[in-house]
Structure 1
Amino acid sequence: MSQLVPQDKFAPSEVSFGAGALSGSYDDFTQNDAVEAYMFRLGINCFDTSPYYGRSEYVLGDALQTISKEFPRQHYYISTKTGRFGYTTKDFDFSAKKTYESVEKSMNRLHTDYLDVVYCHDVEFVPMENIVGPGGALEALFNLKAQGKVKYVGISGYPLDVLLKIAQYQFEQKNQPLDIILSYCHYTLQNTKLADYAPKLRKAGVKYIMNASPLCMALLREGKTPDWHPAHKELREAADKAAVVTREQYGLAISDLASRFSFQGKDEIGINSTLIGLARKSEVQDALRCWRDGKERKENSEKENQAYALIFKLLEPYKNYSWQSPTTKELAQ
């Protein structure tokens, strides 16, 4: 049975539900499988979404409402975002006015009168002043925090140096440190830069660090990496080879190994939760299976260690490589 979440601190489950997949492309499962009571019983209590994710907020809000008698609002955390409303840089708006409007609309879609976390979404896409300056998004979010409509204020994005720069500015110049940051694809089998940045972020007053996409946006999974992936061709091919060889030589799935590696970030560098984009009930069960397996066994098997060694060898030429963000296409006006 799910427990009431603490009201005086943010205590997310070690595995968080990434609701980006509930964009509207999976209508055959969303209403039934998106958020069922089994998730709460298995331990998930944190759900992440965004206005940018199509119909995700609507689907998540409706699904949570259907089980509200058994699991009222106090049983889970909801995090959403503001500022990004489309694919290219022209679709961003981090003004205070838009931030207030966005948060209000998100609360309506999610059927709640408060949000646990609101992030400024993909902060690297705009000048930093748009985020931290007067009349900007963070000013508005901290005002909403003072009103009790938002519990924790944060930022999300890909380049770690941008996240750190904003965190340091808020701490040193504004005396108003960020509560939380959401990083993605930076504590994976391919890239562990978050390990270097986590202490710096803590020093800048950030209390909570969320790590998203242990599968590195479908790079570390079975099957060919999607052509849209922003990594260069050589890295995509190396990851595809690693997936095939891991399966053929060791009978293991690279997605399981990648998930388990990222989950270990909680103990290794103090990650508060690993956020995984989930679409179907089976995916939730697989993620939780990997997490529990790692918690129960602690040590890897000899076969797993051999598989990890092979994967690291294949990915070594691209270790800690970070792609451009925004990409050239996203910069289009």
Structure 2
Amino acid sequence: MSPEPALPRRPLGGTGLAVTSLCVGGGPLGSMPQNFGYEVPAERGVDTVRHVLDSPINFLDTSASYSDGDSERRIGAALAETGGPPEGFVLSTKVDRDTATGDFSGDQVRRSAEASLRRLGLDQVPLLYLHDPEHISFEAAMAPGGPVQALFELRDEGIAQHVGVAGGPVGLLARFLREAPFEALITHNRWTLVDRSAEDLLDDAVQRGVGVVNGAPFGGGILAKGTSTVTKYAYRSADAEILRRVREMEQACQRYSVPLAAAALQFSLRDPRITSTIVGISRPERVAETLRLAQHSIPEQLWAELMPLAAAPKHWQW
């Protein structure tokens, strides 16, 4: 078997962190069948992290809320075996609301971060995001003593080296970037072959010196497995127009003998505004497979056919 290709490391905005163009997403690691449609046994999740740590990828992203903390527990178990993250490895996690009560106060942000560190077995993380702030109002998020203030205090105290915001609605994320000095951004499901909602958000982030990380380039699976296997986009039933567009993309890729997944992944990788692209991985062998997809040769003629196949804006996530 040929060795896995080396991945160059890029500066993540102005953080000083250098990360690979691929970032492994920890959502599936802890088993989230409601999102991904399958269970992940604990040992398989831990073994997947082992493979990530041994790979050219130096960036792993998770969250306190993924499978009620099991993603972080499995990452922590693998890190315990190696004595901690390798030199230069960047691990990011996210502070979350209390999913039982909806509490997303400043105190909850602290509780979330402290619990994450316990599960990961770490004293600090390189990067900590405010996760899914769309669950409360912007005013509540930005209020004195609220979650945004608490997040920046955690950075000032050394619990996190850098802080970012990660969420869905692009207008809301743009507002956070305008009103607070976040250093990194995760947008998900909104910059893919079929959905281009995040166009202006990407431009705005780059102009502000914010590091951009793009999540869910496969739209939850449909742009990796195709419409015969997956009929959801962003974990919800895809409308007929999205399905039609993806089928046309599948047909175009077949004509050039290119996996749809390779095109979907490289659509994000080739965008100079995006520092790193998150791919959720739940099996050890998927690490090498993802690296191969990232390296798969794609002719310019195929890109010329794929780019106009994005759905119309009224079908985007926004």
TM-score range, shorter chain: 0.7 to 0.9
What is the CA distance between 1:249 and its match in structure 2?
3.1
What is the CA distance between 1:320 and its match in structure 2?
7.6
Alignment-derived partner of residue 318 in structure 1: 312
Q: Residues 29 and 309 of structure 1: is their aligned pair in 2 closer, same or farther, counting only changes over 3 Å?
A: farther
Paired positions, count: 298
Structure 1 or 2: more strand by fraction: 2
Deviations 1:136-182 (CA, angstroms, capped at 9, x unpaired):
11111111111111111111111111101111112xxxxxx111111
What is the CA distance between 1:118 and its match in structure 2?
1.4
Q: Residues 263 and 244 of structure 1: is their aligned pair in 2 closer, same or farther, counting only changes over 3 Å?
A: closer
Q: Please show how residues 223-234 of structure 1 align to structure 2 within 5 Å.
A: 223-224=226-227, 225-227=230-232, 229-230=235-236, 232-234=238-240
CA contact (8 A) 2:194 2:246 kept: no
Alignment-derived partner of residue 61 in structure 1: 76
**Residue 301 (str. 1) matches residue 299 (str. 2):** yes
Q: Please show how residues 240-259 of structure 1 align to structure 2 within 5 Å.
A: 240-242=246-248, 244-246=250-252, 248-259=254-265
1:127 equivalent among 133, 137, 154? 137
CA contact (8 A) 2:23 2:60 kept: yes
Matching residue's letter, 2:80:
Q
What is the CA distance between 1:200 and its match in structure 2?
1.7
What is the CA distance between 1:237 and its match in structure 2?
2.0
Q: Please show how residues 73-222 of structure 1 align to structure 2 within 5 Å.
A: 74-86=87-99, 92-170=102-180, 177-203=181-207, 205-222=208-225
**Residue 237 (str. 1) matches residue 243 (str. 2):** yes
CA contact (8 A) 2:232 2:238 kept: no
Matching residue's letter, 2:16:
K
What is the CA distance between 1:216 and its match in structure 2?
1.5
Moved more, 242-251 or 214-223: 242-251
| Matched position secondary structure for 2:187 | strand
CA contact (8 A) 1:243 1:253 kept: no
Q: Residues 93 and 119 of structure 1: is their aligned pair in 2 closer, same or farther, counting only changes over 3 Å?
A: farther
| Matched position secondary structure for 2:220 | coil
What is the CA distance between 1:191 and its match in structure 2?
2.5
Matching residue's letter, 2:72:
E
Alignment-derived partner of residue 18 in structure 1: 25
What is the CA distance between 1:217 and its match in structure 2?
1.6
Moved more, 112-121 or 239-248: 239-248
Alignment-derived partner of residue 27 in structure 1: 41
Unaligned runs of 5+ in 1: 171-176, 295-299, 325-333
Unaligned runs of 5+ in 2: 1-5, 32-38
Superposition RMSD on alpha carbons, in Å?
2.9
TM-score (norm. length: structure 1) = 0.79
| Aligned counterparts of 1:91 and 1:235: Cα–Cα separation in 2 | 37
| Matched position secondary structure for 1:153 | strand
Q: Residues 317 and 96 of structure 1: is their aligned pair in 2 closer, same or farther, counting only changes over 3 Å?
A: closer
CA contact (8 A) 1:3 1:75 kept: no
